[in-house]
């Protein structure tokens, strides 16, 4: 099994690979269509703005490829941070721009109570939501590392599997069939994060 | 709920880790950077900050091999600072796995660079290092560029720019292990909207308890306490947790005495 | 490349040595302390001070009890301390030895020699698997397979002193005085908990960090936990450095104790240096010393040359020759012993050593691996000047 870590100029790939290496999952950092198609699992990381992220995906010709691989061919997929936000219909950073549209919803700037600082930066605990999501129960209550100023407002609540609280409810992770994505950084969340990566990849590798 | 962070600060002189007292030049050599990173990763610290403190003075760039070997030890976020002044510098550091870059001189010399960098990389990876020096009762922005800048003017000025976090360091309390400069924080915490990491003066867990309960700050950095005393980050977090602050505590059993 | 690596102008210590300070003329704090030692300190007064202290604690011959406690290793320094307190000051010390990792035959003999000098010795045989777990973890985590030993040798004597109700503990040299440290620490004459945390060689790791390693519990780590503040205050312990009160001269001490049964290595120098009377008791000391070399750029031979320079036995030039010949050689014997002890392979061990090797101090190839000469030694980026 080989995981393709999508390279699209939005940082973060080295850390993700390091985590996968530690867990023993072979991976390749790539933007090459053949390598992506031949891989068994697609991982989309990313930090930075929604607009630049989408622009880079378009420039690399990856939008159609990824949509085909993930939505049509149902290849297992994990998105991290910006890699989760880009799945939305629209983003607003810095202006309204179309996303991949795999998960219904929009990414907007967080409107927080006055006393809370922005970005949402640091370790926060997640809660499992949805009746069906016993797969994620072992992650409930654990702390993961968040760093973002924009957040996903999901249209379909069934897509949301983990939430966090930062004055307002934050979507921490979404799941839809073969798509799984986290707002937080599991590759930066030490043992808790590595355990989650391990479980998600192992589960999806069987699909 | 967001947890309060306890962050070891590693200061590097180009060869090895050092520790200053009140930013004086005769710094104390404290050891090997990779070793420190490894210990802190094993201790499940919340984050790590690594600063090459003489890079700008010596007109050189931070050694990427050293940075890479440190980041390789860490499965938590790492912030890197030291002589960063160009988009290429930031790109190089993020490419080897740094999560945040920490800027100091460039924020004084060319603050527009902050917006430029934030637009390219996202503001969450841009952290500013603000060193406060108290002289005759007044706070100044400490710098080795020969500029006299009142801290309150600077904070007003820099708040207009785009960045994700501030590390607020007290020159006077640095290395003294007698507590954080709470006056400094209380003076400026309302003027700063982004997360603040307070550094300078930690000597025992009580200091952190005090900081978290008397100010709105939710993150503290420290160094001397970890080199020279019996306290570990876990000791600090358990102490603060016992006083009601939300802390991230990774399971470990502790002796009942003490 | 950064600026040039500074070396002390009087001895051969590099600025990368932890806790070392340099003055404006480039002289290190160890040399400055030595100057004090030779010229400025009033040793007669110090001896008087010492007498004043021990007179407070010395029991009469018709009383039950120990006058003081001396931590020993079986090495020359602690053997000398034991001899000195017993023979010269006529006291009845209790000697406490925290067993080293892998004792040498010579170390065993020298330790039992102490009891032959007329002294009670407690030789603490530690929980082997627990200690071994910490040795391996210490090696991997902080690059020091002797880590649990540092913790044990400073903590156990305190615990024993409290149990036996002995108030005075006599340590040997003040390492900050002999090897350089912050000025306050050089003048320091007591060894407190803070001293252990700051100077005990714990390399940033603490005993709490070992809980859970290989399932180690707090209970199993009992001899490594320092007593609480309350226990210490109640016990009224006084810990002093003998080196603060008496001029410390290792070679002179050696001459004396060799007359009292102490044996040195007969078949050549100890691994990593040029003398045959240091670190005789521990089989794997060479690995600890080599790790120091790769981290900081100087090894045991440098330590010894600097001491000999400061004691006016050799010149700096002669010292430089010795260092070039003996310093920083790969410790084949110690590594062989460590392979047997730990079960790690040579590749694993070398990989850990490499991870602690400073890439600024030693030459690397384009791929980041370290260059070595024909003998397999690392090549310095900054030759000693």
With helix as H, strand as E and coil as C, how does A166-197 read?
ECEEEEEEEEECCEEEECCEHHHCHHHHHHHH
* Domains of chain C, earliest start first: 43-245 (3.40.50), 272-385 (no CATH)
Angle, CA C187 vertex, CA C181 and CA C190 arms, to 5° = 100
Angle, CA B76 vertex, CA B74 and CA B80 arms, to 5° = 75
C200 or C65: which carries more pLDDT confidence?
C65
B258 touches chain C (CB under 8 A): yes
pLDDT at B255 over 70: no
Give all strands (DSSP E) within C219-292, no chain letters: 238-241
Q: Residue B64, class by beta-carbon neighbours within 10 Å (0-12 exposed, 13-18 middle, 19+ buried)?
A: middle
Angle between helix C128-142 and B33-42 (nearest 10): 130
DSSP summary character for residue B50: E
Q: Tell me whether residues B228 and C197 touch, CB distance under 8 A.
A: yes
DSSP helix/strand/coil, C110:
helix
- In angstroms, the CA A161 to CA A154 distance is 11
- In angstroms, the CA B109 to CA B85 distance is 10
Q: Do chains C and A touch (3 or more CB pairs under 8 A)?
A: no
Least confident of A137-146, B236-245, C374-383: C374-383
Q: Could you tell me which of A27, A31, A45, A40 has the C-alpha nearest to residue A69?
A: A40
Across-strand partners of C124? C98
Whether residue A48 contacts residue A82, with contact meaning beta carbons closer than 8 Å, is answered with yes
Angle between helix B233-242 and B205-214 (nearest 10): 50
Average per-residue pLDDT for chain B:
92
Q: Tell me whether residues B38 and C142 touch, CB distance under 8 A.
A: yes
Nearest by CB to residue B15, choosing from C193, C361, C364, is C361
Across-strand partners of C22? C28
pLDDT value for C1? 42
pLDDT at C4 over 90: no
Count Cα neighbours of A93 within 13 Å in the Cβ-side half-sphere.
28
Q: Could you tell me which of B157, B156, B149 has the C-alpha nearest to residue B131?
A: B149
B43 contacts in chain C (CB < 8 Å): 209
Cα Rg of chain A (Å, integer): 16
C220 touches chain B (CB under 8 A): no
B161 touches chain C (CB under 8 A): no
Q: Tell me whether residues C217 and B253 touch, CB distance under 8 A.
A: yes
pLDDT value for B79? 97
Average per-residue pLDDT for chain C:
89
Q: Could you tell me which of A117, A107, A194 has the C-alpha nearest to residue A153?
A: A107
Q: Tell me whether residues C209 and B58 touch, CB distance under 8 A.
A: no
B58 touches chain C (CB under 8 A): yes
* Residues of B annotated catalytic, as ranges: 131
- In angstroms, the CA B36 to CA B59 distance is 26
Return the residue in B16, B203, B249 with the most chain C beta carbons within 10 A, the one to mutate for interface testing: B16
B5 or C41: which carries more pLDDT confidence?
B5
C19 touches chain B (CB under 8 A): yes
Strands A179-182 vs A90-91: parallel, antiparallel or unpaired: unpaired
pLDDT value for A186? 96
Q: Tell me whether residues B31 and C3 touch, CB distance under 8 A.
A: no
- pLDDT, one tens digit per residue, over A154-171 is 999 999 999 999 999 999
Question: What ipTM describes this predicted complex?
Answer: 0.92
- In angstroms, the CA C137 to CA C210 distance is 8
Whether residue B124 contacts residue A119, with contact meaning beta carbons closer than 8 Å, is answered with yes
Q: C283 pLDDT band (50/70/90 cuts)?
A: confident
CA end-to-end span of chain B: 28
Contacting residues for C86 by C-beta, under 8 A, at least 6 apart? C92, C93, C117, C118, C119
B48 contacts in chain C (CB < 8 Å): none
pLDDT value for C279? 78
pLDDT, mean of residues B21-36:
89
Chain B nearest CA to A194, separation (Å): 9
Count Cα neighbours of B219 within 13 Å in the Cβ-side half-sphere.
24
Strands A143-148 vs A120-128: parallel, antiparallel or unpaired: antiparallel
The pTM of the whole model exceeds 0.90: no
pLDDT value for B257? 35
pLDDT value for B171? 96
Chain B nearest CA to A72, separation (Å): 31
Return the residue in B40, B49, B75, B126 with the most chain A beta carbons within 10 A, the one to mutate for interface testing: B75
Question: Which residue on chain A is closest to B72 by alpha carbon?
Answer: A18
Q: C278 pLDDT band (50/70/90 cuts)?
A: confident
What kind and span of H or E run contains B101?
strand B100-103
- In angstroms, the CA B26 to CA A200 distance is 51
Nearest by CB to residue B194, choosing from A18, A118, A123, is A118
For C29-146, where are the alpha helices, taking DSSP H only? 29-35, 43-57, 76-83, 105-116, 128-142
- In angstroms, the CA C361 to CA C371 distance is 12
pLDDT, mean of residues A38-61:
93
Whether residue C29 contacts residue C182, with contact meaning beta carbons closer than 8 Å, is answered with yes
B241 touches chain A (CB under 8 A): no
Chain C nearest CA to B217, separation (Å): 26
Chain A nearest CA to B220, separation (Å): 12
pLDDT at A94 over 90: no
Contacting chains of A (3 CB pairs or more, <8 Å) are: B
Question: Which residue on chain A is closest to B91 by alpha carbon?
Answer: A11
Contacting residues for C10 by C-beta, under 8 A, at least 6 apart? C27, C28, C31, C309, C310, C316
Nearest by CB to residue C208, choosing from B34, B58, B232, is B232
DSSP helix/strand/coil, A94:
coil
For residue C200, give both structure tokens. Answer: 């005990």
Question: Which residue on chain A is closest to B120 by alpha carbon?
Answer: A48
Percentage of residues in chain B with pLDDT exceeding 90? 83
- In angstroms, the CA C269 to CA C88 distance is 30
Question: Which residue on chain A is closest to B217 by alpha carbon?
Answer: A117
C370 touches chain B (CB under 8 A): no
pLDDT, mean of residues C275-284:
81
Count Cα neighbours of C128 within 13 Å in the Cβ-side half-sphere.
4
Question: Which residue on chain C is closest to B19 by alpha carbon?
Answer: C19
C360 or C177: which carries more pLDDT confidence?
C360
Angle between helix C128-142 and C346-356 (nearest 10): 50
- In angstroms, the CA B198 to CA B183 distance is 12
B230 touches chain C (CB under 8 A): yes
Q: Tell me whether residues B77 and A185 touch, CB distance under 8 A.
A: yes
A60 or C187: which carries more pLDDT confidence?
A60
The phi, psi pair for A159, rounded to 5°, reads -75, -20
pLDDT value for A205? 67
Q: Could you tell me which of C42, C40, C92, C49 has the C-alpha nearest to residue C69?
A: C92
Question: Which residue on chain A is closest to B68 by alpha carbon?
Answer: A14
pLDDT value for C289? 92
pLDDT at B47 over 90: yes
pLDDT at C336 over 70: yes
pLDDT value for B256? 41
Q: C182 pLDDT band (50/70/90 cuts)?
A: confident
Whether residue C251 contacts residue C51, with contact meaning beta carbons closer than 8 Å, is answered with no
* Domains of chain A, earliest start first: 3-94+106-205 (3.40.50.880)
pLDDT value for B32? 87
- In angstroms, the CA B95 to CA A12 distance is 7
pLDDT at B212 over 90: yes
pLDDT at A23 over 60: yes
pLDDT at C183 over 70: no
Contacting chains of C (3 CB pairs or more, <8 Å) are: B
C182 contacts in chain B (CB < 8 Å): 28
DSSP helix/strand/coil, A32:
coil
- pLDDT, one tens digit per residue, over C184-234 is 676 666 777 777 787 777 888 899 899 989 999 999 999 999 988 888 888
Angle between helix B33-42 and B64-71 (nearest 10): 20
Q: Tell me whether residues A47 and B124 touch, CB distance under 8 A.
A: yes
pLDDT, mean of residues C237-242:
90
Q: Tell me whether residues A14 and B95 touch, CB distance under 8 A.
A: yes
- In angstroms, the CA C244 to CA C186 distance is 9
Any catalytic annotation for residue A58? no
Chain C nearest CA to B234, separation (Å): 9
pLDDT at C22 over 90: no
Question: Which residue on chain A is closest to B165 by alpha carbon?
Answer: A119
- In angstroms, the CA B103 to CA A150 distance is 23
Whether residue C193 contacts residue B230, with contact meaning beta carbons closer than 8 Å, is answered with yes
pLDDT, mean of residues C325-350:
94
C369 touches chain B (CB under 8 A): no
pLDDT, mean of residues B136-155:
94
- In angstroms, the CA C230 to CA A87 distance is 59
- In angstroms, the CA A95 to CA C332 distance is 64
Return the residue in A122, A144, A146, A170 with the most chain B beta carbons within 10 A, the one to mutate for interface testing: A122
Q: Tell me whether residues B97 and A52 touch, CB distance under 8 A.
A: no
Nearest by CB to residue C218, choosing from B63, B235, B255, is B255
Whether residue A85 contacts residue A152, with contact meaning beta carbons closer than 8 Å, is answered with yes
B15 contacts in chain C (CB < 8 Å): 2, 5, 15-16, 358, 360-361
* Domains of chain B, earliest start first: 5-239 (3.20.20.70)
Q: C294 pLDDT band (50/70/90 cuts)?
A: very high
- pLDDT, one tens digit per residue, over A125-144 is 999 998 767 788 888 899 99
B227 contacts in chain C (CB < 8 Å): 198, 204
Q: Do chains B and A touch (3 or more CB pairs under 8 A)?
A: yes
């Amino acid at each position: 099994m080989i995981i393709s870590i999508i390279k699209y100029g939005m940082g973060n790939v080295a850390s993700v690979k390091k985590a996968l290496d530690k867990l023993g999952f072979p991976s390749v950092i790539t933007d090459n269509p053949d390598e992506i198609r031949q891989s068994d699992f697609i991982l989309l990381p990313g930090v930075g703005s929604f607009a630049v992220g989408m622009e880079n995906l378009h420039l690399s010709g990856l939008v159609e490829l990824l949509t085909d691989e993930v939505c049509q061919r149902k290849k297992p997929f994990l998105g991290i941070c910006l890699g989760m936000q880009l799945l939305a219909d629209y983003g607003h950073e810095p202006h309204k721009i179309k996303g991949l549209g795999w998960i219904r919803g929009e990414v907007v700037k967080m409107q927080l109570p006055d006393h809370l600082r922005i970005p949402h930066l640091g370790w926060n605990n997640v809660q499992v939501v949805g009746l069906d999501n016993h797969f994620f129960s072992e992650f409930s209550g654990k702390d993961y590392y968040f760093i973002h100023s924009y957040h996903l407002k999901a249209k379909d609540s069934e897509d949301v599997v983990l939430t966090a609280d930062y004055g307002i409810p934050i979507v921490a992770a979404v799941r839809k069939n073969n798509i799984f994505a986290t707002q937080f950084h599991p590759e930066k969340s030490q043992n808790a994060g590595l355990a989650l990566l391990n479980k998600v990849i192992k589960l999806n590798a069987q699909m | 709920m967001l947890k309060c962070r306890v962050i070891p600060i590693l200061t590097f002189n180009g060869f090895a880790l050092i520790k200053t007292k009140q930013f004086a030049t005769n710094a104390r050599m404290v050891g090997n950077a990779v070793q420190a990173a490894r210990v802190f990763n094993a201790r499940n610290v919340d984050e790590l900050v690594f600063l090459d403190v003489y890079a700008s003075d010596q007109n050189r760039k931070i050694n990427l091999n050293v940075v890479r070997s440190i980041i390789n030890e860490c499965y938590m976020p790492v912030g890197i600072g030291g002589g960063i002044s160009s988009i290429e510098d930031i790109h190089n550091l993020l490419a080897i796995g740094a999560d945040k870059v920490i800027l100091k001189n460039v924020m004084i010399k060319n603050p527009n660079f902050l917006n430029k960098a934030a637009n390219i990389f996202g503001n969450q990876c841009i952290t500013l290092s603000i060193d406060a020096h108290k002289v005759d009762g007044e706070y100044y922005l400490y710098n080795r560029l020969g500029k006299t800048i009142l801290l309150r003017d600077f904070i007003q000025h820099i708040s207009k720019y785009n960045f994700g976090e501030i590390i607020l360091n007290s020159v006077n309390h640095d290395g003294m292990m007698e507590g954080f400069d709470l006056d400094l924080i209380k003076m400026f915490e309302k003027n700063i909207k982004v997360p603040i990491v307070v550094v300078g003066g930690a000597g025992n867990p009580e200091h952190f308890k005090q900081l978290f309960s008397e100010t709105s700050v939710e993150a503290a950095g420290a160094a001397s306490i970890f080199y020279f005393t019996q306290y570990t980050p876990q000791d600090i977090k358990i102490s603060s947790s016992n006083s009601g602050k939300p802390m991230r505590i990774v399971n470990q059993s502790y002796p009942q005495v003490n | 490349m950064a600026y040039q690596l500074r070396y002390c102008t009087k001895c051969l210590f590099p600025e990368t040595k932890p806790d070392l300070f340099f003055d404006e003329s480039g002289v290190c704090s160890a040399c400055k302390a030595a100057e004090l030692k030779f010229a400025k300190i009033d040793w007669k007064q110090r001896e008087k001070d010492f007498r004043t202290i021990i007179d407070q604690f010395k029991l009469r011959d018709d009383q039950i009890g120990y006058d003081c406690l001396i931590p020993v290793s079986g090495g020359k320094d602690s053997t000398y301390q034991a001899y000195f307190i017993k023979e010269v000051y006529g006291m009845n010390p209790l000697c406490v030895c925290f067993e080293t990792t892998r004792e040498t035959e010579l170390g065993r003999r020298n330790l039992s020699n102490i009891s032959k000098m007329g002294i009670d010795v407690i030789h603490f045989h530690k929980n082997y698997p627990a200690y071994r777990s910490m040795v391996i973890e210490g090696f991997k985590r902080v690059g020091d397979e002797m880590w649990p030993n540092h913790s044990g040798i400073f903590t156990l004597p305190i615990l024993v002193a409290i149990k036996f109700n002995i108030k005075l503990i006599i340590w040997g040299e003040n390492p900050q005085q002999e090897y350089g440290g912050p000025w306050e620490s050089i003048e320091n004459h007591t060894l407190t908990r803070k001293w252990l945390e700051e100077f005990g060689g714990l390399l940033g790791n603490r005993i709490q960090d070992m809980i859970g390693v290989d399932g180690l519990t707090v209970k199993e780590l009992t001899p490594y936990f320092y007593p609480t503040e309350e226990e210490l205050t109640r016990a009224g312990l006084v810990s002093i450095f003998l080196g603060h009160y008496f001029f410390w001269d290792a070679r002179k001490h050696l001459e004396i104790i060799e007359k009292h049964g102490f044996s040195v290595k007969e078949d050549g120098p100890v691994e990593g240096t040029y003398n045959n009377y240091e670190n005789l008791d521990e089989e794997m000391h060479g690995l600890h010393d080599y790790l120091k070399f790769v981290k900081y750029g100087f090894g045991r031979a440098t330590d010894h040359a600097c001491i000999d320079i400061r004691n006016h036995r050799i010149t700096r030039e002669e010292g430089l020759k010795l260092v070039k010949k003996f310093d920083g050689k790969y410790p084949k014997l110690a590594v062989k012993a460590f392979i047997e002890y730990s079960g790690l392979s040579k590749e694993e061990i070398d990989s850990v050593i490499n991870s602690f090797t400073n890439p600024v101090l030693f030459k690397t190839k384009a791929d980041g691996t370290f260059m070595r000469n024909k003998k397999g030694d690392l090549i310095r980026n900054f030759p000693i000047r």
